[in-house]
């Protein structure tokens, strides 16, 4: 039964809500209890070091999110369901991994529910180097090189703190202030089936049990809340006015940002990042691809966004006038420095703790407990959510103080309402409206010789990956599908990938090491319709930059259907009519594209809003609604 949930009208006729406000509060709480029985598993599989190194050299600094090798693979799931949400956080060469032990919290304020969490770490075939066998709580199915959840009584009833911890701010603060969104949540429970394609419109996964259902409801609830914050631009009465939209940018000590860029030659052991930080972190320009094209690194968002905000027309220099406070801490680049080095967990958190302390001393922070503050973190949320059993990443976002501010990330934690996902940076950085419209005109008329393309590598170590299936299907229809094997290193060159995408109608975008892919944005910016296999890749992420109805700009194919060989991707895409493709492409190029790219630091747009403008407008809207 189709139910529109995009409307945000309060439904005053709904008696239950007006009668029982406590009930509406209880709802999320019982939600929490159910969530408690969901647990997360974390799979850590390691390759021998030499292999790791080769692998890293191939894959690092490509346009995918891969940093593989020794890979931390985390799935949040309930006892029965598989892969409700999986990610592979990255590698930890030769590091001691305290699996079963609870490491000392970095500060008193680190999220508390550690002991309630059950992150199971599993190994993989050939996993000789696994550091601490004795702290290993999981069983390893080394013969089959597959992972299984430790499905034990001890795990049941334990909660994933990822899920549990956000119940508090959601219930007690945000939902109170967002009764409209809450009403929508009730409606969400209905599924909107698309009679034509059989696709689910707003829910992409059929929950296998109550736990998964609850978790998915929570995801949907937070998405609705975030969508209610989306701003369509300046207030109509007063276009261009900065009244009530004043932005203050903290002048942080340079160790929190600029100095980190200075460590570019020693950021990771196998690559020099210095060229990526040229041109205000856009990287070197790529003239052969056209004006405004740069060799931008996927983790460069922090300096790119910072440069834009410094020149925002509504920037003020008096913090007492400000509505929004921007904290230019390059937390992603900070943590990236340590990912591949053998340092203690304390070292990884030094700057994170210091920046929180630094802010804590400011009146402007105390005034609203950080709710009007924003951080841009150019990596995935999990890189900042180190929990006890996995030593990957920092604990920045596990700190109590970090719950209130908005965190803009290239991949959000779907159970954190203040985690807002914003597009991965692409190679295109326009300066003017004309740069955007010339790009649009160029992209829309490109002859596209391939129906389908896939640029990626197989994940032979991950049996859950659908990539091999996709590669097989692609290669068995060479007339329709082109496969670019990223394992060979060719995808390191933006030119090859962008040229392929500009020459294709559909671009397959299976999850990589984490659900989101920079490649989805490369594909959209190239006018290639993305084919999405996991709602966490995009639909559950970019609430401010992608519309709720995914059919306007993408094709969804359930990865379970693909695994079960119920669907052939090539056939499914061949069945799309020319008209359908043209409608989608036109929408992508004309409606979405300007809002998916980050202008350069001097950019000024009048007709368009770029990703940065949309984000800042929506942040201001969020603050005006929630404070």
Min separation Cβ 158 and ligand NAG, Å = 12
Residue 94 binds to ligand NAG (criterion: CB under 6 A): yes
Min separation Cβ 417 and ligand NAG, Å = 33
Rounded Cα distance, 537 and 492, in Å: 21
Identity of the residue, 133 or 177, whose beta carbon is nearer to ligand NAG in the bound complex? 133
Identity of the residue, 147 or 202, whose beta carbon is nearer to ligand NAG in the bound complex? 147
Identity of the residue, 112 or 278, whose beta carbon is nearer to ligand NAG in the bound complex? 112
Which tokens sit at 155?
């795990």
Cα dihedral sign, 140-143-149-153: negative
Per-residue contact string for residues 150-179; x = within reach of ligand NAG by CB under 6 A: x-xxx-------------------------
Which ranges in 445-517 belong to alpha helices (H)? 467-475, 494-502
Min separation Cβ 115 and ligand NAG, Å = 11
Identity of the residue, 23 or 342, whose beta carbon is nearer to ligand NAG in the bound complex? 342
Identity of the residue, 3 or 458, whose beta carbon is nearer to ligand NAG in the bound complex? 458
Residue 121 binds to ligand NAG (criterion: CB under 6 A): no
Identity of the residue, 137 or 257, whose beta carbon is nearer to ligand NAG in the bound complex? 137
Identity of the residue, 177 or 476, whose beta carbon is nearer to ligand NAG in the bound complex? 476
Residue 476 binds to ligand NAG (criterion: CB under 6 A): no
Residues 6+ apart with CB under 8 A from 23: 16, 17
Residues 6+ apart with CB under 8 A from 621: 229, 230, 231
DSSP letters for 129-176: T-S-GGG--S--BTTTTB------TTTTT---HHHHTTHHIIIIIIHH
Size of the site for ligand NAG (CB under 6 A): 14
Which tokens sit at 318?
């008096």
Residue 271 binds to ligand NAG (criterion: CB under 6 A): no
Q: What is the DSSP letter of 262?
A: T
Angle at Cα 521 formed by Cα 64 and Cα 281, nearest 5°?
A: 75
Rounded Cα distance, 517 and 528, in Å: 14
Residue 552 binds to ligand NAG (criterion: CB under 6 A): no
Residues 6+ apart with CB under 8 A from 612: 305, 308, 309, 598, 599
Residue 285 binds to ligand NAG (criterion: CB under 6 A): no
Identity of the residue, 67 or 131, whose beta carbon is nearer to ligand NAG in the bound complex? 131
Binding to ligand NAG in span 484-543, by CB under 6 A: 485, 487-488
The correct pick among 4, 191, 342, 441 for binding ligand NAG (CB under 6 A) is: 342
The correct pick among 4, 6, 18, 101 for binding ligand NAG (CB under 6 A) is: 101
Residue 458 binds to ligand NAG (criterion: CB under 6 A): yes
Rounded Cα distance, 174 and 5, in Å: 19
Min separation Cβ 498 and ligand NAG, Å = 20
Tokens 């929408």 label which residue?
Answer: 587
CB of 124 within 8 A of CB of 107? no
Rule CB under 6 A: which residues touch ligand NAG? 94, 101, 133-134, 150, 152-154, 342, 458, 471, 485, 487-488
């Amino acid at each position: 039964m189709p139910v529109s949930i995009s409307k945000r009208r309060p439904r005053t006729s709904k008696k239950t809500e007006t009668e029982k406000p406590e009930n509406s509060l209880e709802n999320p709480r019982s939600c929490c209890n159910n969530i408690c029985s969901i647990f997360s598993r974390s799979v850590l599989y390691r390759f021998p070091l030499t292999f790791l190194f080769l692998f890293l050299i191939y894959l690092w600094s490509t346009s995918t999110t891969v940093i593989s090798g020794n890979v931390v693979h985390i799935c949040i799931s309930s006892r029965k369901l598989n892969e409700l949400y999986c990610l592979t956080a990255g590698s930890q060469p030769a590091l001691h991994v305290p699996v079963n032990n609870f490491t000392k919290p970095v500060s008193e304020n680190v999220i508390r529910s550690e002991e309630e969490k059950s992150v199971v770490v599993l190994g993989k075939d050939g996993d000789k180097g696994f550091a601490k066998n004795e702290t290993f709580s999981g069983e390893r199915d080394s013969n089959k090189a597959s992972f299984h959840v430790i499905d034990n009584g001890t795990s049941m009833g334990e909660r994933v703190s990822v899920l549990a911890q956000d119940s508090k701010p959601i219930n007690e603060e945000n939902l109170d202030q967002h009764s409209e969104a809450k009403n929508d949540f009730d409606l969400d429970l209905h599924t909107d089936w698309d009679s034509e394609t059989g696709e689910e419109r707003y829910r992409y996964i059929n929950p296998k049990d109550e736990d998964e259902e609850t978790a998915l409801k929570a995801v949907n609830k937070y998405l609705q809340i975030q969508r209610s914050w989306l701003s369509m631009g300046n207030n109509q009465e007063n276009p261009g006015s900065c009244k009530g939209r004043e932005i203050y940018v903290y002048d942080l000590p340079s160790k929190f940002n600029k100095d980190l860029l200075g460590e570019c030659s020693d950021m990771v052991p196998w690559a020099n990042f210095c060229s990526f930080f040229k041109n205000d972190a856009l990287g070197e320009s790529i003239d052969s691809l056209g004006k405004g094209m740069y060799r931008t690194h996927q983790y460069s968002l922090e300096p790119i966004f910072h440069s834009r905000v410094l020149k925002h027309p509504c920037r003020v220099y008096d913090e007492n006038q400000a509505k929004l406070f921007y904290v230019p801490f390059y937390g992603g680049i900070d943590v990236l420095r340590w990912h591949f080095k053998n340092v203690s967990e304390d070292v990884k958190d030094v700057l994170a703790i210091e920046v929180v302390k630094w802010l804590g001393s400011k009146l402007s922070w105390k005034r609203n407990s950080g709710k009007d503050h924003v951080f841009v973190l150019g990596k995935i949320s999990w890189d900042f959510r180190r929990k006890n059993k996995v030593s990957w990443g920092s604990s920045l976002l596990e700190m109590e103080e970090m719950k209130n501010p908005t965190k803009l990330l290239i991949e959000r934690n779907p159970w954190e309402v203040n985690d807002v996902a914003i597009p991965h940076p692409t190679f295109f950085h326009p300066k003017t409206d004309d740069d955007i419209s010339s790009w649009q005109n160029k992209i829309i008329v490109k002859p596209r010789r391939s129906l389908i393309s896939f640029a990626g590598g197989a994940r032979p170590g991950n049996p859950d990956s659908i990539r091999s299936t996709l590669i097989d299907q692609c290669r068995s229809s060479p007339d329709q599908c082109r496969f670019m094997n990223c394992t060979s290193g060719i995808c390191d060159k933006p030119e090859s990938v962008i040229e392929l995408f500009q020459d294709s109608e559909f671009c397959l975008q299976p999850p990589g090491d984490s659900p989101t892919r920079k490649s989805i944005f490369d594909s959209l910016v190239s006018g290639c319709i993305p084919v999405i296999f996991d709602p966490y890749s995009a639909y559950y992420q970019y609430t401010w930059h992608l519309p709720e109805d995914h059919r306007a700009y993408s094709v969804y194919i359930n990865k379970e259907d693909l695994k079960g060989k119920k669907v052939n991707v090539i056939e499914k895409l061949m069945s799309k009519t020319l008209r359908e493709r043209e409608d989608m492409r036109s929408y992508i190029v004309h409606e979405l594209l300007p809002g998916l790219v980050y202008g350069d630091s001097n950019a000024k747009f009048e007709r368009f809003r770029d990703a940065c403008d949309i984000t800042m407008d929506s942040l201001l809207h969020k603050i005006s609604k929630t404070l």
